[in-house]
Amino acid sequence: MPFAKLLARNALPVVALVAATGFGAADATAARLFPDLSEQMEERVVCSVSAAAKYEIPANILLAIREKEGGKPGQWVKNTNGTYDVGELQFNTAYLGDLAKYGITAQDVAAAGCYPYDLAAWRLRGHIRNDRGDLWTRAANYHSRTPSKNAIYRADLMVKADKWAKWLDARFVTVNYGPSSPAQPAGKGTTLAAADTSAAAPAEAQPMKQGRITRTSLRSSGYVPRQLIINNTP
């Protein structure tokens, strides 16, 4: 089933972002971007928006996953199958093999800052574009592919994603979200240029180098959430 039809049949708005120009942890002297949020929550939003823009995935879904996973930097949680969920986004170690060829390790996933959000967004992009099922089932595969566990996660994910869609929509201009070509991660030394939104197909997106990045104002950085216009036709 075409990806566009899957989106059209969902009852919740999907927010995505385009353009990629790095920002992350704020300077101590930087003005607050979202004074209605705590500083910790503001950083989570900034990291999520940055990563979602870079990988052209729904920002509200990444924010909802971050809220649901509720991890901490450096945290390792052992699963019954012997794998671990690591860091703020509780990135499962079963996927580390896919990242190893790019020089990315478990320590990168467990680190503080925005880089783990990049890695989570890269993984979520793969689920959305390559897995079976509707959009929300694919996104819930971030947590588990087991149908019973996926269904529970999916239901709550939709509620939280709807909340974040409204939060983003109140602060940005929104338009349709649509898929583009797949991305792959690269070594931590990779530098990303700004995406050209007029191009027919965007360049491959890759995780940027881990480290401290000066935050740029969202209002001038080109990060524009995109909300799906819902209709009842397939």
Give the pLDDT score at 173.
Answer: 61
pLDDT at residue 168, rounded to an integer: 85
The amino acid that residue 17 corresponds to is: L
Q: Are 45 and 37 in contact (CB under 8 A)?
A: yes
pLDDT in tens, 166-182: 888 887 665 545 554 34
Tell whether 232 is covered by a domain: no
* Residue 208: domain span: 3-227
pLDDT the model gives residue 39: 87
Nearest-5° Cα angle at 195, 193 to 199: 130
Give dist(CA 179, CA 189) in Å, integer.
26
- The total number of residues shown for the chain amounts to 234
Which regions in the chain score pLDDT beneath 70? Answer: 1-30, 172-234
Q: Which of 93, 127, 124, 98 is CA-nearest to residue 109?
A: 93
- Tens digit of each residue's pLDDT (9 = 90 or more) over 114-133: 999 999 999 999 999 999 99
Residue 234 lies in a domain: no
Residue 92 is assigned to a structural domain of this protein: yes
Task: Pick the closest to residue 163 from 15, 8, 34 (CA basis).
Answer: 15
How many domains is the chain partitioned into structurally? 1
**Token digits of residue 216:** 């740029």
Q: H helices within 22-146, ranges in order? A: 39-55, 59-69, 96-100, 106-110, 115-130, 135-140
Q: Are 32 and 42 in contact (CB under 8 A)?
A: yes
Give the pLDDT score at 32: 75
- Within-domain flag for 64: yes
206 in a structural domain: yes
Residue 178 resides in a domain? yes
pLDDT of residue 7: 30
Backbone angle region of 119, left / alpha / beta, with phi > 0 → left and psi within -120 to 50 → alpha? alpha
